[in-house]
């Protein structure tokens, strides 16, 4: 297959300019230039991509149109038909989501003596955690410390992060690294026995710990193995479709939907930890995504209609280098470590247009500007556009990036000699449910950890910080829930009356009853024209 | 528009565009997958598939999200495959080599047929991994099996009815727990945090004006590559 023949001319220009580009210095943007670039070209700033919420705790806030639609929807069941008097399961702590945040919460809660039930939409471990390639940042080295990690994270987040949440992140980092080592995670080491650490975008110290280029997979495999060893129950293919409250409006369980038998299950719990992940599969503004199949913002939807507050949900992270061609790999991540190793971002004529080591939002905006305003993009036969990531500049590519090399080789593209066509791809939900440093949401009894939580990373997340935050807040949520559970009395009754009220408001707004959420899974079957 | 070619999904014929992946073809045919689909990027092993192509007696495998369709391909996506896993507490293990052998004695029943290696969609040398496990060479098992996505195909083919991926999983954990270094500086840093060494410095920034933070950020010292 390889590249279409009409690419010959642009591929030649990329090749011919390579030597010159290698000697070229491109200055980093100053604050004003960066702000101008982002506000003109970052998708978050497109007015048509955002809508003001018409109801709920964040009424009036701008959020992506696709999320607004999911939030302003009816429950997928009729609340009046639900029998809450005989829950299918009763437990101390219900954990929603089988990724890194959910698994670390479950292990911590179980170790603290609680009865735990995990529920997840797909299989245990099917989550974005497992797809993390690069690594997890933790300020463990003598040359580093939590203070430096704090400054990097706040600056990278453009000073929008909740500082107390960043403090918890960086202070817990070393303990998380040790905890994972104690569970038997195969981190990478130097020959002198020190941890191997990588540099990555926006960090001032080398602090990214890795497990080859499959860090998330390795950690996820170990956590899943340990959950099974501890015999912690997990209901798979049974996503949460709404929360259950008590007489005081505190969260005391959830309604699950068994996708395979099309039946509903009520779970009663003293506390619920929401660790349901991100939003990518809602395809914000039509962008492809690096996210796994189940990332449809379900946790935001059910928590929001039960009254929880969100933060920064106008902020989505687009990774600058998602694959555009071949289409079979559309949206898949090309790690930014490639730019760290010297690969240039280059337009149709072989010209660089940004310092490749700028933050993600800046590089992504520059790629979009190149394709839109400047008209310097490379078109694919099906009408998408991209710019080149000039990989032949990387020495020893087969050794450093064997996974990516093989992925393209299958489509007859040799990235040692040919560049990769890339365009920004949705990667991460920067915002989420508002939490305290103890992972409490604004809804009593509901905790949140991982990508569904917001405020930790501000409006731009640094590489390697989310793989840390899922464990920090997963464990914090479990510890706080354990403490609080001691004081929690049995509910007088369980209720979903909040749904009736929500439905009445939707009805007043004229929203059609056919609009239901959570979305659960994207639909990629062909649509009639 | 690409040429349409026939494929068979669970025995039913559909016409799909040439060049798409098995997953793309199945969705193009109107299926909204529940099982048999996970990360869609070749990491999770949810979409292990077996297939045959016309005129070839061999059974072939691949991840549905990574494998392109061929004309006449007859495909099944594996929804699930039962597997045996021995429960253990890594902190109570005394001798990791012996423990692995005690946990999974069936590994000595390996017939050397190599069906596991042939079927692995990650091209791992599964049979060699089991041979290393038999020898108690945990480091070799850990290194050789590192790219395992635990899709279950090896277990589906093993004549000795082993679950090679769970044996490798235990070996990797035992290897990491017992044989990899634990640098002292990690523990030192944890104690510093517990003793509050960084609290004052960070707390002073919590209420700080953005301008001051910007200055600190701009002036921070960046470690060389």
| Domains in chain B: ranges and CATH | 4-77 (3.10.20.740), 90-179 (no CATH), 184-217 (no CATH)
For residue B68 the two structure tokens come to 């392109």
CA distance, residue B83 to nearest chain A CA (Å) = 12
Report CB contact under 8 Å: A187, B176. Answer: yes
Average pLDDT of span B42-49:
92
pLDDT at res. A60: 98
Residue A312 in contact with residue A323, Cβ under 8 Å? no
Chain A residues 158-177 with a CB less than 8 Å from chain B: 159, 163-164, 167, 170-172, 174-175, 177
Report CB contact under 8 Å: A154, B213. Answer: yes
Nearest by CB to A151, from B35, B175, B220: name it: B220
CA distance, residue B94 to nearest chain A CA (Å) = 15
CB-count exposure of residue A356 (10 Å: 0-12, 13-18, 19+): buried
Alpha-carbon distance A17 to A19, whole Å?
6
| A-chain residues near B211 (CB < 8 A) | none
Pick among B183, B194, B208 to test the A interface (most A CBs inside 10 A): B183
Nearest by CB to B169, from A154, A225, A293: name it: A225
Virtual torsion, Cα A181, A182, A184, A190, nearest 10 deg: 30
Pick among A225, A291, A330, A403 to test the B interface (most B CBs inside 10 A): A225
Name the residue among B2, B60, B147 with its Cα closest to residue A4. B2
- Using the Cβ of A216 and the Cβ atoms of chain B, whether some distance falls under 8 Å is answered with yes
> B137-169, pLDDT tens digit by residue?
999 999 999 999 999 999 999 999 999 999 999
CA distance, residue B7 to nearest chain A CA (Å) = 16
Beta-carbon contacts of A3 under 8 Å, excluding residues fewer than 6 positions away, are: A11, A325, A413, A418, A421
| B-chain residues near A339 (CB < 8 A) | none
Nearest by CB to B205, from A145, A150, A218: name it: A150
Report CB contact under 8 Å: B44, A130. Answer: yes
Alpha-carbon torsion A169, A172, A177, A182, what sign?
Answer: negative
Residues of chain A where predicted confidence (pLDDT) is lower than 50:
none
Q: Which residue ranges make up each domain of chain A?
A: 5-41+317-426, 79-315+430-495
SS (H, E, C) A360-400: HHHHHHHHHHHHCCCCCCEECCCCCEEEEEEHHHCCCHHHH
Closest residue in A to B25 (Cα) is A525
CA distance, residue A213 to nearest chain B CA (Å) = 9
DSSP B138-181: HHHHHHHTTT----SHHHHH-TT---HHHHHHHHHHHHHHHHS-
Chain A residues 16-35 with a CB less than 8 Å from chain B: 31
Bridge-based pairing state of the strands A263-274 and A310-311: unpaired
Closest residue in B to A133 (Cα) is B43
Given a cut of 60, whether residue B211 has pLDDT beyond it is: yes
pLDDT at res. A529: 67
Alpha-carbon torsion A436, A437, A439, A440, what sign?
Answer: negative
- Using the Cβ of A189 and the Cβ atoms of chain B, whether some distance falls under 8 Å is answered with yes
Which residues of A form the catalytic set? Answer: 319, 339
Report CB contact under 8 Å: B90, A237. Answer: no
Residue A425 in contact with residue A368, Cβ under 8 Å? no
| A-chain residues near B89 (CB < 8 A) | 229
pLDDT at res. B178: 98
- Using the Cβ of A150 and the Cβ atoms of chain B, whether some distance falls under 8 Å is answered with yes
pLDDT at res. A403: 78
Sole residue written with tokens 């997979």: A217
| B-chain residues near A151 (CB < 8 A) | 205, 213, 216-217, 220
| B-chain residues near A214 (CB < 8 A) | 43, 146-147
pLDDT at res. A407: 86
Q: How confident is the model at residue B19 (pLDDT cuts 50, 70, 90)?
A: confident
DSSP state of B90: G
Report CB contact under 8 Å: A186, B202. Answer: no
User: How many CB atoms are located within 10 Å of the residue A247 CB?
Assistant: 12
A5-41+317-426 sits in which CATH class?
alpha beta
Closest residue in B to A190 (Cα) is B181
pLDDT at res. B225: 67
Given a cut of 70, whether residue B1 has pLDDT beyond it is: no
What CATH number does the domain located at A79-315+430-495 have? 3.50.50.60
Report CB contact under 8 Å: B185, A140. Answer: yes
Residue B178 in contact with residue B96, Cβ under 8 Å? yes
Name the residue among A293, A348, A288, A285 with its Cα closest to residue A321. A288
- Using the Cβ of A412 and the Cβ atoms of chain B, whether some distance falls under 8 Å is answered with no
Closest residue in B to A173 (Cα) is B190
Report CB contact under 8 Å: B30, A526. Answer: yes
| B-chain residues near A146 (CB < 8 A) | 193, 198, 202
Cis before residue A326, ω within 30 degrees of 0? yes
Report CB contact under 8 Å: B35, A164. Answer: no
User: How many CB atoms are located within 10 Å of the residue A349 CB?
Assistant: 12
Bridge-based pairing state of the strands A89-96 and A116-119: parallel
E strand residue ranges, B53-119: 60-63, 74-77
Alpha-carbon distance A319 to A316, whole Å?
10
A454 - beta bridge partners? A434
| A-chain residues near B35 (CB < 8 A) | 237, 260
Bridge-based pairing state of the strands A89-96 and A263-274: parallel
Name the residue among A422, A414, A427, A426 with its Cα closest to residue A384. A422
| A-chain residues near B43 (CB < 8 A) | 130-131, 214, 216-217
Residues in chain A: 529
Nearest by CB to A174, from B21, B91, B186: name it: B186
pLDDT at res. A453: 98
Name the residue among B201, B144, B71 with its Cα closest to residue A146. B201
């Amino acid at each position: 297959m390889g590249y279409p023949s009409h690419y010959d001319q642009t591929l030649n220009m990329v090749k011919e300019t390579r030597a010159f580009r290698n000697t070229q210095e491109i200055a980093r943007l100053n604050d004003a230039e960066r702000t101008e670039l982002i506000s003109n070209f970052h998708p978050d700033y497109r007015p048509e991509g955002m809508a003001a919420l018409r109801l709920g705790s964040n009424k009036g806030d701008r959020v992506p149109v696709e999320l607004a639609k999911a939030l302003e929807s009816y429950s997928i069941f009729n609340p009046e038909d639900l029998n809450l008097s005989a829950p299918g399961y009763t437990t101390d702590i219900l954990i929603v989501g089988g990724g890194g945040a959910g698994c670390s919460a479950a292990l911590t809660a179980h170790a603290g003596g609680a009865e735990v039930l995990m529920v997840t939409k797909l299989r245990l471990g099917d989550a974005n955690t497992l797809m993390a390639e690069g690594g997890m940042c933790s300020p463990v080295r003598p040359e580093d410390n939590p203070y430096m990690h704090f400054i990097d994270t706040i600056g990278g987040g453009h000073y929008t992060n909740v500082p107390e949440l960043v403090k918890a992140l960086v202070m817990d980092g070393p303990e998380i690294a040790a905890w994972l080592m104690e569970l038997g995670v195969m981190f990478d080491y130097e020959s002198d026995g020190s941890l191997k650490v990588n540099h990555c975008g926006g960090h001032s110290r080398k602090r990214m710990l890795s497990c080859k280029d499959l860090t998330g997979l390795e950690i996820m495999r170990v956590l899943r193995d340990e959950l099974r060893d501890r015999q912690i129950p997990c209901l798979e293919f049974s996503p949460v479709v709404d929360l259950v409250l008590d007489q005081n409006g505190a969260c005391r369980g959830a309604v699950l939907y068994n996708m395979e038998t099309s039946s509903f299950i009520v779970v009663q719990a003293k506390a619920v930890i929401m660790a349901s992940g991100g939003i990518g599969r809602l395809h914000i503004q039509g962008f492809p995504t690096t996210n796994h199949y189940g990332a449809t913002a379900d946790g935001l939807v059910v928590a929001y209609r039960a009254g929880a507050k969100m933060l920064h949900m106008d902020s989505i992270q687009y990774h600058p280098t998602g694959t555009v061609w071949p289409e079979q790999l559309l949206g898949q991540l090309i790690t930014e470590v490639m730019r760290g190793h010297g690969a240039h971002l280059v337009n149709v004529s072989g010209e660089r247009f940004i310092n490749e080591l700028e933050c993600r939002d800046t590089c992504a905006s520059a790629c979009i500007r190149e394709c839109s305003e400047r008209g310097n993009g490379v078109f694919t036969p099906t009408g998408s556009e991209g710019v080149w990531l000039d990989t032949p500049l990387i020495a020893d590519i087969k050794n450093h990036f064997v996974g990516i090399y093989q992925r393209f080789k299958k489509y007859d593209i040799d990235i040692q000699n040919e560049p990769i066509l890339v365009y920004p791809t949705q990667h991460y939900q920067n915002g989420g449910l508002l939490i305290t440093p103890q992972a409490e949401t604004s809804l009593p009894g509901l905790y949140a950890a991982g990508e569904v939580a917001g405020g930790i990373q501000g409006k731009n997340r640094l590489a390697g910080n989310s793989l840390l935050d899922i464990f920090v807040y997963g464990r914090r949520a479990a510890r706080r829930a354990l403490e609080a559970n001691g004081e929690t009395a049995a509910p007088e009754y369980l209720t979903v009356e909040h749904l009736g009220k929500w439905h009445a408001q939707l009805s007043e707004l004229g929203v059609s009853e056919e609009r239901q959420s959570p979305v659960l899974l994207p639909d990629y079957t062909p649509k009639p024209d | 528009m690409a040429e349409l070619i026939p494929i068979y999904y669970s025995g039913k014929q559909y016409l799909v565009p040439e060049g798409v992946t098995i997953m793309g073809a199945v969705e193009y045919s109107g299926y909204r997958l529940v099982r048999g689909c996970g990360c869609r990027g070749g990491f999770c092993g949810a979409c292990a598939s077996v297939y045959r192509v016309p005129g070839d007696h061999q059974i072939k495998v691949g991840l549905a999200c990574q494998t392109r369709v061929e004309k006449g391909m007859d495909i099944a996506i594996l929804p699930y495959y039962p597997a045996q896993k021995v429960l253990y507490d890594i902190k109570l293990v005394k001798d990791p080599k012996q423990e692995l052998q005690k946990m999974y004695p069936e590994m000595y029943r390996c017939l050397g047929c190599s069906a596991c290696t042939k079927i692995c969609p990650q091209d791992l040398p599964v049979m060699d991994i089991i041979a290393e496990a038999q020898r108690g060479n945990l480091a070799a098992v850990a290194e050789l099996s590192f790219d395992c996505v635990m899709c279950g195909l090896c277990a589906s083919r093993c004549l000795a009815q082993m679950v090679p991926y769970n044996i490798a999983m235990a070996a990797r954990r035992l290897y990491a727990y017992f044989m990899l270094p634990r640098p002292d500086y990690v523990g030192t840093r944890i104690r510093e945090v517990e003793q509050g060494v960084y609290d004052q410095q960070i707390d002073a920034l919590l209420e700080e004006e953005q301008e001051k933070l910007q200055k600190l950020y701009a002036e921070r010292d960046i470690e060389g590559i």
